[in-house]
Structure 1
């Protein structure tokens, strides 16, 4: 192939990077048994998601036990802000992952390096700007969130430290996703584990001022998160170079840190709709909470616990969807379209199997699991059992939809999946919950998720089977 022009995406084929990738844990996802390869690639990504969720749960326990309910409420407001930030990075990171995956599929290591150079430099600058703006306008952000006045000082102290650590959090997420695009899902798992150990381990020391550490209260929890993210990011970058992983930039390749307009247009143009999918999920969840809150404190508590459990139930579907997207991207890059449909079918079967087992186990052991969050005599216990019984099975449908979306976005089809998801989660889900409450009461709230999932799956299946998504392209014109 011809050498890459400054703003192009095709590049000279190199085998050195592929050998390095295989030697250091990356996988060639265009070869070998599809199901076995997909499972082996997906499991570390699932492990990273579980560790991230556990980290949040552990930190919540530390804050709740050491600082009380006001501090918990304060961190919830900051978490909402961080979710919005990470939603956009998810979209841009996913677009970068797909570009890198396609480059690896066509044996174009130089093209992959150009993509990571553009993504890391451009969004590093954006992250720093967002960090500065967030720190300056944190009071206004909290006011916009209608944060209760009694917890504003706590929320402000926490949020400002979180914004200082924002660049590390965003760039760590993007670099981990880029490595997965190269077929390496193990290295991100190791450094997610490092971040979790540091974060959850430092929390009590910095909150209470144990040993040589200063007593920082709620800001100590945010500081632990900041330290963990910066340390993990620095260690991951060092590892990329020490192990000579294929995405490292050396000598003349450092010029790739000057963003390529063509690659940047692709990342922004394709990444923005993917980020907006996460915003749609967030908007739907926040609106549902406003409906649930009208049912009373016990119902709100029960719904909150159900959401905690659903976080874990949906993880396999998210992990399989992301793994399918990367694997399909590599096969599209290698022009092996015969494997694309087989990867999708394997992803659907894996998702149904794992999620199905989790749904059944939760149904059989719901009382024991819910008792971890609620006392066995809590008035919220029977409500929580009823909620999860009606709503949890919807994640089977959700999982299949995520696999179909993962396949389609690997070829650049991102707008229609966004419209499908937004339609299902907003007018369908919220409309069903609002209207059907008059006929079946609060059960309409819990059934709204399966109804929305069924709508999303039906529309996603129609779009997938029509095949028009195959005429899309990740590369910007």
Structure 2
């Protein structure tokens, strides 16, 4: 599991590193208003990707179980179906997002000082959605087939290009135009597009198990049986991410009410939290893929072992990262906010109160990964919906008169503890083991 999870973890770290370096460029060159603008825009983009995430995960279940059975054609059929769906979905999102940018930012109560910058950044980012979504979809499919190395290779390429192009386009170095915050978004778009082209070429050059040729290109139009499975399982999985991202949007709105300093502090905190959650996401993905393949192979005896190992590995890795972050938080936050920023102390306070939330959060992610590997998607949705809204927001509204902004930060660990308790109960007592995911992709 560690060998399989490490390339995914490295890919996630590199992706987050790219975003962090970009935030450093933006914060140092353009100031706190620009940093707050990127935080507002990035949560919106997470929401867009979360909308499609469930379809990709449903296809990954099909791919993993097909690989476990040794049915390569079914794995390719599932890959083609989700890639075709991703292309259509991302084009619609790009067009709608371009025209709805201002309305979305107003709904988020984006601070006036950051509104124009967020507008420019968000619009350019929407242009990049199709290439980015196709890249993410291919990476998910590849991991579902047990190949975590290919996504890592092209994540490295993406990160290198993004880090190099950001200062060039922000500052207008050499012959490049000076684009400011829009240059940061454009650099990310260019890097993602080049990497997507490279990854597709690699699939064909290396005869990757999921590559499509000849009649297989027709798999880009999914059959009705595949579409029913991907949509039927994918909608609840996507809804899980929408619940998380929707709660994130609400929290951004609540933080924005506290003023620009708190918004900038929260933006820097989110950058660091992205690293803390990396082990949970990587291990959760590894657990889900391994459980799906073992279910496909009929090896139910391995499922509990995989899950328990995932929980232990995640707790160890996440615990170490939390300790390092709290030990060096001032230096880390200074990278994004500048050494003299008044937002640093606010961000340190947020870290002390809420960073440990990622221990129960990671355990929940591993348990949910096991459940969804067999197509059990409704219980995780209910768990996340309850923990993110009635519990988290309920605590905020009840606690704010007494705690002020601290009610926001304390709501994070409270909701995570509730979610892990509910997820463990479903894992131990639920009937998810009897809800066998049907390999609909094998139907013609």
TM more than 0.5: yes
The alignment partner of 1:246 has SS state of coil
Residue number among 28, 43, 48 corresponding to 2:11 in the alignment: 48
Indicate if the aligned counterparts of 1:274 and 1:414 stay in contact, CA closer than 8 A: yes
Assess, with a 3 A threshold, how the Cα gap between structure 1 residues 249 and 60 changes in structure 2: closer, same or farther.
same
Which stretch shows the higher mean deviation, 44-53 or 402-411? 44-53
How far has the Cα of 1:435 moved from its partner? 1.9
> Structure 1: any 5+ residue segments left out of the alignment?
1-37
* Partner Cα separation in structure 2 for residue 77 and residue 373 of structure 1: 15
Q: Paired residue for 2:191?
A: 228
**Higher CA-based Rg:** 1
The question of 1:180 aligning with 2:143 is answered: yes
Over the residues paired in the alignment, what is the CA RMSD in angstroms?
A: 2.6
Deviation, 1:265, is: 1.7
Q: Answer yes or no: is 1:402 the counterpart of 2:365.
A: yes
1:413 counterpart SS class: coil
Q: CA deviation at 1:417?
A: 0.3
The counterpart of 2:159, out of the listed 183, 196, 212, is: 196
Q: Which residue of 2 is the match for residue 239 of structure 1?
A: 202
Q: What displacement does 1:474 show?
A: 3.0
Supply the distance in 2 between the matched residues of 1:222 and 1:373 (Cα, whole angstroms). Answer: 17
Tell me if the contact between 1:265 and 1:476 (Cα under 8 Å) persists in the aligned partners.
Answer: no
Counterpart-to-counterpart distance in 1, 2:304 and 2:373:
12
Question: Does structure 2 conserve the Cα–Cα contact (< 8 Å) formed by 1:95 and 1:271?
Answer: yes
Offset at residue 408 of structure 1 (A): 0.2
The one of 306, 313, 329 aligned to 1:350: 313
CA drift of 1:205 comes to 2.0
Are the counterparts in 2 of residues 262 and 476 from structure 1 also a CA contact under 8 Å? no
Matches for 1:379-418 after TM superposition, within 5 Å: 381=344, 383-418=346-381
Spell out, residue by residue over 1:302-356, the C-alpha distance to the aligned partner (whole angstroms, 9 max, x if none).
Answer: 4444333322111111111111001101001111000011000100110111112
User: Is residue 128 from structure 1 mapped to residue 84 from structure 2 by the alignment?
Assistant: no
Q: Does 1:161 align with 2:106?
A: no
> Shift of the alpha carbon at 1:395?
1.4
How many pairs are equivalent? 440
Looking at structure 2, the residues matched to 151 and 386 of structure 1 have their Cα atoms a distance apart, in angstroms, of 23
2:217 aligned residue (239, 254, 268): 254
Aligned runs of 1:4-403 on 2, under 5 Å?
A: 38-147=1-110, 154-292=117-255, 301-373=264-336, 381=344, 383-403=346-366
Query: Which SS does the other structure have where 2:176 is aligned?
Result: coil
Pairing of 1:411-426 with structure 2 (within 5 A): 411-426=374-389
* Deviations, residues 199-258 of structure 1 (Å, cap 9, x unaligned): 221122223332233333333322222211111111000000000010011122222222
List per-residue Cα deviations over 1:244-301 (Å, max 9, x = no partner): 0100111222222221111122112212222222222223233334445566666555
On the 8 A contact 1:263/1:475 being kept in 2, the answer is: no
Q: d(CA) in 2 for partners of 1:223 and 1:255? A: 33
CA distance in 2 between partners of 1:468 and 1:374 (Å): 48
Rounded to whole Å, the distance in 1 between the matches of 2:260 and 2:114 is 20
TM-score, normalised to structure 2's length? Answer: 0.90
Of the structure 1 ranges 299-308 and 39-48, higher mean CA displacement relative to structure 2 is found in: 299-308
Q: Which has the higher contact order (CA 8 A, sep 6+)?
A: 2
**Whole-Å separation in 1 of the counterparts to 2:15 and 2:375:** 28
TM-score by length of 1: 0.84
